[in-house]
Amino acid sequence: MKVTVEWIKEFVNTEASADEIGDALTMLGIELEGIDDSPLGPVLDFKVTPNRGDCLSVIGLARELAAKNATRYRPTELFVRAAKGFLRGDETQALSSARVEIEADDLCLRFSARGWDGIRVVPSSSKLQARLSACGMRPINVIVDAANYVMLELGQPLHTFDFDLLREERIVVRRARTGETLTSLDDEERDLSTDMLMICDGVGPVAIAGVMGGANSEVSEGTTRILLESAHFDPRSIRATRKHLGMSTEASYRFERFVDPQGTLRATNRFAEILESESGVSPLQGVIDLHPRKREASSLTVRESRWNSLLGMQVPRAAAGAALVGLGFRVEETNEGLSAVTPSWRSDIHREEDLIEEIGRVWGYERVPEALPTGAAMGGETPESAFLTKCRNAMLRMGFTEVLNHTLCADSPLDIAAERVALRHPQSPELALLRSSLLPGVSMSMARNRGRDIQIFEIGRVFHGSWEFAMLGIGMSGRLLEEDWNQPQSPNADFYSAKGVVEKLMEMAERVGEFRETSDARFHPGRRGALFDGDEELAVFGAVLPEIANKLDLPKGSLLAEIDLHALFNAPKVERIYTPISQFPSVRRDFSISIAKSVSYIEIERAIRQAAGELADRVWPISSYEGKGIEPGHHGIAVALVLRDRERTLTDEEANDVCENAWKKLESLGATRR
C-alpha cells in the first residue's frame, strides 16, 4: 500500500519525518518496504499483513501511529470527523429515486448508496490527480478518482453506476444465474458461476460485486446521473470469485481482507464532500442503507496476569488500556484486568491472546527481556535421521563431494518409477514432477562439471506414489585421484569402483546385504549390479546405459549408484565384536590360473577357502587378464591366499598341503596352471 506522507499528516499532526513514520509503523507490524519520491513529497510503501485489512487505508495507518504515541502523532480535526462518520445530516432520510434489494444477504452484509444528478464527468483537480498518482493509481475522471480517493483514505471500495443505464432503476444483489455473462470494465466477457455475488439491475448483472464493474453501466463522458455503491461483502465469497475469474483488483484485495461494515455510509459521505469540492455538485437528499445482518461487536476480557505471563514482561494496566483505546477498542477495567469491545473495522480479534498481542505490540516488543526456558531437556534426533547423517559422513569420508538437486524436475530416462507424483499446475515441464530417483539430478551435476574428475553424492527425498523416503545417489567419472606432479596417472573409476563404494558404505553403515544381478534398464547390461536384503532391493549401481549417457551429455565412463536409505536403515545390522589379533606369522601363496570366464570369481575363491579351511586368513584377486596366450573364452586370473593359525607358526609342509589340495579343487573347476 502506497501512501504519501502529506496525506498521513492530514490525519495526524506530527513533526516526524518519512523515515520515522516508516519505522514507527514497521515496529507496529506494518512493514515499510520502501520510500519513493513524488511531486507531493515522500511516498511510503507498506506491506500490510492479510489480517489487517483496516490498515489498507490512510486512516488505518494514522490510527496505529496515534495509538502508539498520541503525543507525537496527534489526531487532527479531519481524523475526528472521519471517526464520527463525516455526517451530513440526511442519513436518516431515504433516497427516493432508487430501489435496492439484497437477495443474497449471506454474502452482502450491508449495502449503502447515494445518488447524484447533474454531474459532469470531467477530469479531477490536479491536487486529487497528484495524490492518486503518487499512491500508484491512474487518474481517470472526477467520479472514478473521487471513489478511488475515498478507498485509499478510508479503505472502503466504492463503485459508481451510470444511473440512467440501470434498467428499472433498481439494484438487486444476488448470486449469478446459470448462463449469465458480464463484460467487465476491462472489456473481458466473463462467464459467471452461480456462487458468484453480482450487482444486478432490474434485468441482469451490472457488476461483479466487490471485484469489478460492468461495461453496461459504466460512468462515461455523457453521464449525468450516478448511483454510488458502498457495501460490505463476504471476504471468502469475493476471494473465491476473483480467484475463479483469475483477477485481482484494489477493491477485491480489500474486500478479501475485510472492510469495515460500519464504514459504508461514512464513505458515501466522504465521497460527497470530495465531489462537492471538486465540482460543486451536491448529492441528492437521503441515502439507501440496507443492513440485513449486523455483526455483533464482540467483548473480550483480558487478564493482567495473563498478558504479563505470555508477554514475559510487565505492562501496567493503564498502559494496556490506553493501547487498546488508541486502537479503537471500548475498554473497561475489571477486577482481573480489562474488558474490551472490538471496533467494527477489526476482523482479527477473537480471543484474549489477540488482545494481548495488541497490548504487546503497542507497548513495544523491544521491552521483552531475554530468558531461557528452565528445566532439563534432552536434545537429540531420531535413529533414522542419525542413520542418514552416518551415511552422509561415510560418503564424505570416502572423499565424495555433496551436491543438492531440485525435488521438482522434468522427466528423465533415469527416472523409471511406476508411480510418479506430478504437480497439478506445473510452472514449466522442467518443474512438473517430483523426483522418484536422485540419479537424474546427480547426472545433471555430472554433466554440469564435464571435464572434471567427478565423485559426487546427494542424499534427499524421493517420491513413489504416496511413499516418500530418503535415497543416496552417487556419481563417478574420470580419475579416482586428481592429477598430480611426478605421480603416475591415477586409474579411472570403473564398475568395480562403484561396487567398492557400495561395499564401503555398507561397512560404514554397519549393514549387510547380498549382491545379485539386476535387470535395471538404466545401466549397461554387462556392467550393473544390485544389493539385496532378502527380496528388498537396497541398491543398484553400474555403468550408465550408453544411449542414456549420450542423451544426458554425461562424461565418458560415468557410473551411478543409488541406495535406498530407508530400506538400508531397516536391513540387518552388523554386530561388531572384537577378534583377537594372531601373534603368529602368516604364509602367502599365489595361484595363477587360466579358466573359463563362465566360472565366476567367487567359485575360485570358495575352492581355495575350502582347501585352506580354518587356516584361510584372506583370499583376494591380484589380477585378471585376457588376450595373448589365453584360450578364447578364458581368462588368466591370479589369486592370493594368506594362511595363518591363531595358535602357532605354520610350517612350509602345512602350507604346501593346503596348496596341493587347492590346486586339485581348482582343476576340478577346469582351471589350468599358468
Partner 1 sequence: MESIDIVEKAACAAVASANTSAELREIEVRYLGRNGELTGLLRRVGALPNDQKPLFGKAVNEAKARVQTLIDERAVALSGAEQAARFETEKVDLTMPGRRFRAGLPHVLAQTIERVKSVMIGLGFQYVDGSELESLRYNFSALNYPPDHPAMDDQDTFYIDDERLLRTQCTAIQGRTFESREPPLRVFTIGRCFRNEAVDRTHGHTFMQVDAFMVDEGISMAHLRGTLGAFARAMFGPEMTVRFRPDYFPFVEPGVDFAITNPFKNRGAGDWMEIGGAGLVHPNILEAHGIDTERFSGFAFGLGIERICMTQYGIDDLRLFFDNDLRFLEQFPA
Residues 11-70 that bind partner 1 (CB under 8 A): 26-29, 31, 49-52
Query: Per rule CB under 8 A, is residue 423 in the interface with partner 1?
Result: yes
Q: Is 342 in the site for partner 1 (CB under 8 A)?
A: no
Crossing angle of helices 142-154 and 264-279, rounded to 10°: 140
541: alpha, beta or left? (left if phi > 0; alpha if psi -120 to 50)? beta
By CB under 8 A, residue 468 contacts partner 1: yes
CB of 193 to partner 1, least distance (A): 16
Q: How far is the CB of 141 from partner 1 (least distance, A)?
A: 30
Tell the smallest beta-carbon distance from residue 530 to partner 1 (Å): 25
Helix axes 58-68, 18-26, angle to 10 degrees: 80
Instruction: Tell me the HSE value of 91 on the side-chain side, using a 13 A CA sphere.
Output: 16
- Residue 384 vs 603, nearer CB to partner 1: 384
Q: 650, exposed or middle or buried, with CB in 10 Å at 0-12, 13-18, 19+?
A: middle
Of 47 and 556, the one with the shorter C-beta distance to partner 1 is 47
**Interacting residue with partner 1 among 368, 416, 596, 602 (CB under 8 A):** 368
Shortest Cβ 386–partner 1 spacing (Å): 9
Whose Cβ is closer to partner 1: residue 131's or residue 257's? 257
Residues 6+ apart with CB under 8 A from 499: 515, 529, 541
Min CB(591)–partner 1 separation in Å: 34
User: Using CB under 8 A, which residues numbered 529 to 588 contact partner 1?
Assistant: none
Least gap, CB of 370 to partner 1 (angstroms) = 4
Q: Which long-range contacts (CB under 8 A, 24 or more apart) does 490-498 make?
A: 492/557, 493/455, 493/557, 493/559, 494/557, 494/559, 495/527, 495/529, 495/542, 495/543, 495/559, 497/559, 498/474, 498/541, 498/542, 498/543, 498/559, 498/560, 498/561
Show the beta-strand stretches assigned E in 609-670: 616-625, 634-643
In the bound complex, what is the minimum distance in angstroms from residue 81's beta carbon to partner 1?
29
Q: Of 276-284, 458-466, 588-596, 621-629, which segment contacts partner 1 by CB under 8 A?
A: 458-466
Q: Which stretch binds partner 1 (CB under 8 A): 352-360, 510-518, 591-599, 625-633?
A: 352-360
**Which residue number, 487 or 519, has a Cβ lying nearer to partner 1?**
487
CB of residue 342 vs partner 1: minimum separation in angstroms? 15
Among 179, 369, 383, 488, contact with partner 1 (rule: CB under 8 A): 369
| Spatial CA neighbour of 237 closest among 107, 52, 102 | 107
**Residues of span 371-400 touching partner 1 by CB under 8 A:** 371-373, 375-382, 384-385, 392, 395-400
Q: Which is nearer to partner 1, 460 or 529 (CB)?
A: 460
Other Cβ atoms less than 10 A from the Cβ of 514: the count is 10
Residue choice 87, 404, 416, 574 for contact with partner 1 (CB under 8 A): 404
Residue closer to partner 1 (CB basis): 274 or 324:
324
Q: Per CB under 8 A, does 236 bind partner 1?
A: yes
Residue 456 as a binder of partner 1 (CB under 8 A): the answer is: yes
The helix (run of H) or strand (run of E) holding residue 75 is strand 74-75
**Phi–psi pair at 459, nearest 5 degrees:** -115, 125
Which stretches of 14-57 are DSSP H helices? 18-26
Kindly list the strands in the beta sheet with 2-4, ordered across the sheet, starting from the edge strand earlier in the chain: 2-4, 43-47, 31-36
> Using the rule CB under 8 A, is 434 a contact of partner 1?
yes
Residue owning grid cell 467483548 = 299
By CB under 8 A, what part of segment 470-489 binds partner 1? 481-482, 484-485, 487
Q: How far is the CB of 311 from partner 1 (least distance, A)?
A: 5
* Min separation Cβ 539 and partner 1, Å: 19
Site for partner 1 contains 410 (CB under 8 A): no
Q: How far apart are CA 110 and CA 115, in angstroms?
A: 17
Q: Can you say whether residue 367 is alpha, beta or left, with left for phi > 0 and alpha for psi between -120 and 50 degrees?
A: alpha
Q: Which of 103, 95, 318 is closest to 225 using CA atoms?
A: 95
Place of cell 471476504: 235
Cell of 267: 464513505
Considering beta carbons, is residue 358 or 537 the nearer one to partner 1? Answer: 358
Q: Which is nearer to partner 1, 29 or 343 (CB)?
A: 29
Q: What minimum distance in Å lies between the beta carbon of 266 and partner 1? A: 24
Q: Is the Cβ of residue 117 or residue 482 nearer to partner 1 in the bound state?
A: 482
Q: Are strands 99-102 and 170-175 parallel, antiparallel or unpaired?
A: parallel
Residues in 578-617 at the binding interface with partner 1, rule: CB under 8 A: none
Interactions with partner 1, residue window 288-317 (CB under 8 A): 309-313
The nearest distance, CB 297 to partner 1, in angstroms, is: 20
User: How far is it, in rounded angstroms, from Cα 390 to Cα 382?
Assistant: 12
Q: Which helix (H) or strand (E) holds 443?
A: helix 439-448
Q: Is 240 in the site for partner 1 (CB under 8 A)?
A: yes
d(CA 59, CA 63): 6
Q: For partner 1, which is the closer residue by CB, 207 or 403?
A: 403
Distance CA 57, CA 8 (A): 10
DSSP 53: G
Q: Which amino acid is at 314?
A: Q
Residue 171 or 251: the one with the smaller Cβ distance to partner 1 is 251
- Rounded CA-CA distance 9/5 in Å is 6
- Closer residue to partner 1 (CB): 312 or 670: 312
**One of 72, 291, 390, 452 touching partner 1 (CB under 8 A):** 452
Read off the C-alpha cell for 114: 447515494
427 binds partner 1 (CB under 8 A): yes
Q: Does 429 contact partner 1 by CB under 8 A?
A: no
Q: How far is the CB of 529 from partner 1 (least distance, A)?
A: 24
Kindly tell me which of 389 and 651 has the beta carbon lying closer to partner 1. 389
Size of the site for partner 1 (CB under 8 A): 85
344, 449, 570, 661: which one binds partner 1 (CB under 8 A): 449
3-state secondary structure of 640: strand
Task: Tell which positions 241-280 bind partner 1, by CB under 8 A.
Answer: 256-257
